[in-house]
A and B are shown apart, each in its own frame.
Chain A
Amino acid sequence: MKKLMLWSGHAWVALPVRFYLAYVFISACWHKILEPGLFAVDVATYQILPLSLINLAAITLPWVELGVGIMLIVGFRSRAAALMVAGMMVIFMTALGIALYNELDMSCGCFASSAAAAEDPISMMTMWRDAGWLALALYVVFFDRRSLGVDAWMQRVKEGKEKKNAS
Chain B
Amino acid sequence: MAKKEALIILRDTVVFTVAFSVVGIVFNAVREKGIPLIATEAYEIYVPCPEPLGEVWPMAPDAAEVRDSRTILIDARSAEEYRDWHAPGAIHVLYDYLDPLPDEVLDRLSGEFARSGKARVVVYGDGEGKMGDTGYELGRELSGRGLRNVYVIEADVETFKRSLQP
Given contacts A59-B28, A60-B24, contact A40 B35 (CB under 8 A): yes
Bound-complex Cα distance A115 to B48 (A): 10
Count of A-B residue pairs with CB < 8 Å: 93
Q: Is the CB of A55 within 8 A of B9?
A: no
Closest 7 CB pairs of A and B: A63-B24, A80-B12, A67-B20, A44-B43, A60-B21, A60-B24, A64-B20
Q: Inside 8 A of B12's CB, which chain A residues have their CB?
A: 77, 80
Residue of B39, B46, B48 ringed by the most chain A CB atoms within 10 A: B39
| Nearest CB of chain B from residue A37's CB, rounded to whole Å | 5
Q: Is the CB of A59 within 8 A of B48?
A: no
Q: Inside 8 A of A159's CB, which chain B residues have their CB?
A: none
New contact pairs (9) apart from A35-B33, A54-B39, A54-B43, CB-CB < 8 Å: A36-B34, A41-B45, A47-B45, A60-B25, A63-B20, A66-B20, A80-B9, A81-B16, A106-B47
Residue A52, interface by CB 8 Å: yes
Residue B64, interface by CB 8 Å: no
Of B17, B27, B33, B48, the contact of A105 (CB 8 Å cutoff): B48
Q: Is the CB of B39 within 8 A of A40?
A: yes
Bound-complex Cα distance A55 to B45 (A): 14
Please tell me the number of chain A residues within 8 Å of chain B, measured between CB atoms.
39
Given contacts A63-B20, A67-B16, contact A40 B43 (CB under 8 A): yes
Q: Inside 8 A of A67's CB, which chain B residues have their CB?
A: 16, 19-20, 23
Question: Can you give 13 A-B contacts (C-beta < 8 A)?
Answer: A34-B33, A40-B43, A44-B45, A45-B45, A51-B39, A59-B24, A63-B20, A63-B24, A67-B19, A80-B12, A84-B16, A105-B48, A115-B46
Bound-complex Cα distance A55 to B39 (A): 6
Chain B residues in the interface with A (C-beta under 8 A): 9-10, 12-13, 16-17, 19-21, 23-25, 27-28, 33-39, 42-43, 45-50
Q: Is the CB of A56 within 8 A of B43?
A: no
Q: Is the CB of B13 within 8 A of A63?
A: no
* Interface of chain A, main secondary structure: helix
Bound-complex Cα distance A87 to B19 (A): 16
Chain A residues in the interface with B (C-beta under 8 A): 34-37, 40-41, 44-45, 47, 51-52, 54-56, 58-64, 66-68, 71, 77, 79-81, 83-84, 87, 104-106, 114-115, 118, 141
Q: Is the CB of A105 within 8 A of B13?
A: no
Given contacts A44-B43, A45-B47, A52-B38, contact A84 B13 (CB under 8 A): yes
Bound-complex Cα distance A52 to B38 (A): 5
Q: Inside 8 A of B50's CB, which chain A residues have their CB?
A: 105
